[in-house]
Amino acid sequence: MEELPIVNEFPDVFSEDVTNVPPKREVEFTIDLVPGTSPISMAPYRMSASKLNEFKKQLEELLEKRF
């Protein structure tokens, strides 16, 4: 650890031995899974907000014309 410049600059912040596993935490974070469910597979929606608004406007116009 001594070879890292930032560690040498702030020795009071870093403990002597940082090679151990992280200490036990007071609160452990978990995600409870529901049996029988599968992961949701959704592709990310990659469209700018202005383009999305333009398409929504066009869709509403078509729906008004009962297209």
8, 12, 15, 23 from 3: Cα distances, Å: 8, 16, 15, 24
Measured distance CA(26)–CA(20) in Å, rounded: 18
At residue 17, φ and ψ (nearest 5 deg) are: -120, 110
| pLDDT value at residue 2 | 55
pLDDT tens digit sequence for 24-51: 778 878 888 899 988 888 777 788 889 9
Half-sphere exposure at residue 45, Cβ-oriented, CA atoms within 13 angstroms: 4
pTM across the whole model: 0.33
Cβ(67)–Cβ(61) below 8 Å: no
